[in-house]
A and B are shown apart, each in its own frame.
Chain A
Amino acid sequence: MDTTSDEELVERARTGDVDAFATLVDRYRVPALRLAYGIAGDEAEDAVQDAFVKAFRKLGTFRSDAPFRPWLFTIVANEARNRRRSMSRRASLELRVREQPPGVGSASDAPAIEHEQRRMLVAAVNQLSGHHREVIALRFFAGLTEDETAAVLACPPGTVKSRLSRALDQLRAALGEEVRL
């Protein structure tokens, strides 16, 4: 795995080094897809493709003393929101858990139970408002810190804390007694 820092890769990418930016793409593609999926469901892949292309083209506007991750994820979130706005059917916004391969031959029921719990959790996430779902996606699906999440949402960290807290409360309420989380 490439251990070159984001800063160095960004500097190289600014001079048109596509390989340097491709390394950043490899580094952040999965969390970016997860974030975009949290916001725009099935449109995630196209949103992320467009976001990375935009980010590459906009590198000239990136302040080199600023952290790269929040800047990149702001572009991903914007692209995903744009896609969500243009979608009308809720179905394609709905998040799903990847199906378990059948017949894994496990000796216990644990995998099936875990799968069922994830399915219930994702169903609860699907019930959240766009704002709440987004903060969950940033914090847990993309793995951003609270400060990074605040930077992406352009709001104070306190707002992220309270929004997150309300989102988690709603998830607990939706999950009720059946799943103790």
Chain B
Amino acid sequence: MTDLERALTDLADHLDVPDTAGSGDALRRRLAAPATLPRHGRTRALLAAAAAIAVVSVGVVAVAPARHAVAGWLGIGAVEIRRSVPPLSVAPSTVPTTATTEPAPSLDLAAARRLVQFTIVTPRDVASPARVAVDRRVPGGLVVLTYDHFTLVEIATDRSQPPPLAKLVGGRARVEPVTVHGHAGVWVPEIHRIGYLDRSGRLRSDTVRRAGPVLLWERDGVTFRVEGPHTLAEAHAIADTVV
């Protein structure tokens, strides 16, 4: 082995490889999840009978029939929060595998503004986002603004429709109701998962990704999501600049 080869082997031990605390456990939970979820009707019966999963949503006027079967909703605007005891069950997707939460190409803000049906708000006092991506699978659009220390996601929110996104949190995970600019919100302080829902409210397994602590709130037909800060105070400080 040459010196360069030795140096590369040594480098492997010093790379800044992302490895979030708890992601190994999250992976175990994913592995423990059944490969397939029972069919819709059975899911409903199972959920009601076992009371293993509580799906909660606030601010949703019309909800998919299956959701009525489950007591207690929590969520904000376009994002439903599903609380489950491990293992977290994820439906296999019936949509092509190209539909993922992988980031779309970066755009400039002006282009993003043309692509979504709401007014994109950028935080005061920070430089332009390092990355702007739009996802139009959400009716009305979803924009992801990536800054150095946080990510701001803005999602068009139609209260007459079921939420297009769900967060999956553990059965005992804290989900704190909060108020942001006088609007209802929630703080999810723990690592959890987020994914897209299909029209029948099933989570599409190919879209599920891990997410860190998040502050969510809804205002005037837009759901805002701040990811990155580890404390509610930090998240609030960012949210205060999104006006």
Contacts and interface: CB of A to CB of B under 8 A. Distances in A.
B28 A140 contact: no
Residue from B9, B18, B100 whose CB has the most chain A CB atoms within 10 Å: B18
Contacts of A83: 102
A9 B27 CA distance: 17
B7 interface: yes
A42 to B, nearest CB: 6
Interface of B: 2-5, 7-12, 14-20, 23-24, 26-28, 30-32, 35, 100, 102-106, 130-131, 209-210
Interface string A102-119: 000000000000010110
A87 B103 contact: yes
B18 A49 contact: no
Contact of A22 (B4, B31, B102, B103): B31
A177 to B, nearest CB: 14
A136 B9 CA distance: 10
A181 B9 CA distance: 13
Contacts of B30: 49, 53
A95 B27 contact: no
B31 A118 contact: no
B26 A49 contact: yes
Contacts of A33: 17-19
B103 to A, nearest CB: 6
B20 A45 contact: yes
B5 A37 contact: no
Nearest to B8: A140
Contact of A37 (B4, B18, B28, B35): B18
